[in-house]
Amino acid sequence: MRLHVVDHPLVAHKLTTLRNRETDSPTFRRLADELVTLLAYEATRGVRVEEHEISTPVAPARGVKLAQPKPLVVPILRAGLGMLEGMTRLVPTAEVGFLGMIRNEETLEASTYANRLPDDLTGRQVYVLDPMLATGGTLAVAIRYLMERGADDVTAICLLGAPEGVEHVRKAVGEDAPVQIVLAGMDPGLNDLGYIVPGLGDAGDRLYGVV
Ligand SMILES: O=P(O)(O)OC[C@H]1O[C@H](OP(=O)(O)OP(=O)(O)O)[C@H](O)[C@@H]1O
Ligand SMILES: O=c1cc[nH]c(=O)[nH]1
Ligand SMILES: [Mg+2]
């Protein structure tokens, strides 16, 4: 499993405003959207392409196009939905599937309440979207499920992570798993409630106007 924390001044700038408690929901949504597009550029470095021949107005030319089967993007509801448009802006031909997952705020265990994925994930390259990687419970369940269903390459794009969450996912999927985690920032740790510190609070609530 590989971890990539994106080091870019624009990402750091947008992340700082995103964290700020003074940032309102519309601005939070816009920043999350912009950040995902920047992260997706890094995260899709290994997206599979195949040779493609075209003709320019001047001459025949050889290039590439996205390979089949198409990449699959899976936002984890609810908060991951706030990252979908930013991702599909960069990869508009990707297929989209959905997982609805909720973390029990007392036990911190993740459970799945919705699942709308293609039947066959064999050989699929999958991009999972979830802004927060805290204990890692949610992402570990999601990635293991996608791999059990046949996905052979999974990249998780998250805005913020904590070291214990990353290690939890690493243990759950295995060191040699074809899994990549791309983060805009890695924070020092979690508080007693399992929230990332300093983090940005509850991503779902901030995206969808509860606070
Ligand atoms: O790494 P973990 O400890 O599992 O925590 C992270 C999860 O918690 C949040 O979702 P939440 O369960 O609050 O659901 P929501 O997206 O509906 O707000 C977040 O979006 C992740 O999915
Ligand atoms: O810090 C955290 C942890 C889990 N979920 C969130 O929305 N924020
Ligand atoms: Mg939440």
Q: Measured in angstroms, how far is the CA atom of residue 195 from the centroid of ligand 3?
A: 10
pLDDT in single tens digits along all 211 residues of the chain: 999 999 999 999 999 999 999 999 999 999 999 999 999 999 999 999 999 999 999 999 999 999 999 999 999 999 999 999 999 999 999 999 999 999 999 999 999 999 999 999 999 999 999 999 999 999 999 999 999 999 999 999 999 999 999 999 999 999 999 999 999 999 999 999 999 999 999 999 999 987 6
Question: What is d(CA 59, CA 196) in angstroms, rounded to the nearest whole number?
Answer: 54
Residue nearest ligand 1's atom 14 by CA: 102
Question: Looking at the CA of 137, which ligand is closest?
Answer: 1
Cα distances from 134 to residues 55, 115, 123, in angstroms, run: 49, 22, 28
What's residue 209's pLDDT?
A: 84
- pLDDT score for 48: 98
Q: How far apart are CA 192 and CA 102, in angstroms?
A: 18
In the set 103, 112, 144, 149, the catalytic residue is: 103
The DSSP-derived string for 38-58 is: HHHHHHTTT--EEEEEEE-SS
Residues 6+ apart with CB under 8 A from 113: 100, 101, 102
Q: Is 196 exposed, middle or buried (0-12, 13-18, 19+ CB in 10 A)?
A: buried
Which pLDDT score, from 0 to 100, does residue 211 have?
64
Q: In 3-state terms, what secondary structure has residue 137? A: helix
For domain 2-49+64-207, which architecture applies? 3-Layer(aba) Sandwich (3.40)
Closest approach atom of ligand 2 to CA 160 = 1
- Find the 65 Cα to ligand 1 centroid distance in Å: 34
**For the chain, which residues make up each domain, given as ranges?**
2-49+64-207
Ligand 1 proximity of 194 Cβ (cutoff 6 Å): yes
H or E element that contains 18? helix 9-19
Tell me, in angstroms, the distance from the centre of ligand 3 to residue 53's CA: 46
What is the pLDDT at residue 141? 98
